[in-house]
Amino acid sequence: MEASGGGQSVPAAIPALVAFAVLATQGYLALGRNFANVVETPFFPYCLLGAFAIHMATRPGVRERLWTLALAAVSMAWFVGLSGKFRPSGAGVLACCAFLGLSSLTVLAVQVLRLRGDPQVEKLHTLFAGSVFGYSALLIGGVLSVTTALHPQTYDLYLYAADQGYGIPICAWTGQFLARQHWLFVTCAQVYESLPLAVSLLYAYQRSGAKPLGIRVLAAFLGGGVAVYALYNILPGAGPYYAFDKAFPDHLPQAVGLHVVKLLQEGPRNAIPSMHLGCALLIFWNCRQVGRWVYFGSALYLVITVLACLGLGEHYVVDLVAAVPYVLLLQAVCAPAELRSRPEWRQSRLAGAILTLAWIAAVRFGAPLFHWHAFAWTLSMVTLAVCGVARHRMLPAEAGVQKRAIQAI
């Protein structure tokens, strides 16, 4: 027996298996693990808040919303008053808010088990979208620990030497600036961790059907995240905070030798290209047609993300520049089908792939070239210019698709 929806058939056993898997995982987190520590893990609470946003974007019925809010309220009351794990801190408050997402996933899983036919398939899609970011966040932690085990030696000295090619200590200056502005430091840290929520909000907007976007959100962010981990194994790097420890940001070395790689015991190998900056840039690019204030907010989010990546010592400048062509590649690969075959998208795929690999090769094999400051600046400006022009050429076609969709409503 199969349930169909949206022109697709779903074997009857799949919805039940997915629903049971979600419920079992939540039970394991609550009973088999220290639930407070899991919920307060960086990124994960924001993933759960994103699940709540995605759920609400589908406009569930009044009863479904009331059940979700009631379950969240009961869970929060238990967590604060009875669990003994709540702490009156920002992390504790965030953990409480995360129960909104857990409640959404629970209600959606029950709905998948209860419903049949098209409504069941629709709830199944929402359950998958709401849970995939949270579970991927937990999975990413394991994947990054594997990269650390596979690459105890990193190329941070190569990345740092490439940064010195700009002639000014951009990372150090940014880190020192944040250290003097405590409120901005805290803001940057929160924004850095909130990325899953920002991505979820963009997907929630897409699921709401308000206006079509020029990208398939889940494919871009999940597929792009998986692909980038392969690149991290080509040129593994952790970031100046991990590579130089207490020397960041005030006492970074003036020069480093490139005849050896650096042995690091900790720090995720996720340096180049920076997927964190890449996600923020993808959000900015695809909020252009959403609305003026949303577009302005996404620009501010992008700026703060840049400050966070550099000022917190998580990434080098070259990580961020190399992320731009990678984002161009994702934008072209993960566009809707009616756009992917256009010449602008084919050219963007080619330019994005070539420039991304060129940056990795330049840092790994052409490090001495960065001693010439003009090389670093020229390569950076050419990269940004090519990507900017390529992205600009995409906009008219994306606007046309959106206009036709609105007229068809």
- What single string gives the DSSP state of each residue in 44-96? HHHHHHHHHHHHHHT---HHHHHHHHHHHHHHHHHHHHTSS---SSHHHHHHH
CB of 143 within 8 A of CB of 38? Answer: no
Highest mean pLDDT pick, 139-153, 225-239, 289-303: 289-303
Mean pLDDT of 286-292: 86
Ranges 91-105, 276-290, 307-321: which has the least confidence: 91-105
CB of 214 within 8 A of CB of 394? Answer: yes
Higher pLDDT, 31 or 244: 244
CA separation for the pair 349, 326 (Å, rounded) = 9
pLDDT at 91: 76
CA separation for the pair 252, 241 (Å, rounded) = 10
**Percent of the chain beyond pLDDT 90?**
39
pLDDT at 4: 42
CA separation for the pair 405, 409 (Å, rounded) = 7
Nearest CA-CA partner of 122 in 207, 210, 202, 62:
207
For 253, which DSSP code? -
Burial of 82: CB neighbours in 10 Å, binned 0-12, 13-18, 19+: exposed
Helix orientation angle between 292-311 and 170-180, rounded to the nearest 10 degrees: 100
- The structure tokens listed for 134 are 């949270």
- The structure tokens listed for 290 are 């959403």
In this prediction the pTM is: 0.87
Residue where the block lists tokens 């050219």? 347
Written as one string, the DSSP assignment of 385-402 is HHHHHHHHHHHHHHHHHH
Q: What sign results for the dihedral spanned by CA atoms 322, 324, 328, 334?
A: positive
Helices and strands: H and E segment counts in the chain = 19, 4
Burial of 171: CB neighbours in 10 Å, binned 0-12, 13-18, 19+: buried
Q: What is the pLDDT of residues 55-114, one digit of tens each?
A: 999 899 999 999 999 999 998 898 888 777 777 777 778 888 888 988 998 899 888 888
- The structure tokens listed for 197 are 């929520």
Nearest CA-CA partner of 140 in 199, 200, 226:
226
Written as one string, the DSSP assignment of 364-386 is HH-GGGGGSHHHHHHHHHHHHHH
Nearest CA-CA partner of 71 in 26, 112, 96, 104:
104
Highest mean pLDDT pick, 229-243, 258-272, 273-287: 273-287
Taking the C-alpha atoms of 161, 362, 304 and 95 in order, what is their torsion angle to the nearest 10 degrees? Answer: -90
Instruction: For the chain, give the longest Cα–Cα distance.
Output: 68
Residue 273, preceding bond cis, omega within 30 degrees? yes
Cα atoms found within 13 Å of the Cα of residue 144, Cβ hemisphere only: 17
**Percent of the chain beyond pLDDT 70?**
88
Per-domain residue ranges of the chain: 2-133, 153-408
pLDDT at 390: 94
Q: Average pLDDT, whole number, for the chain?
A: 85
Nearest CA-CA partner of 134 in 104, 107, 177, 114:
104
Nearest CA-CA partner of 265 in 409, 366, 152, 359:
152
How does residue 22 score in pLDDT terms, banded at 50, 70 and 90?
A: confident
pLDDT at 257: 66
CB of 315 within 8 A of CB of 235? Answer: no
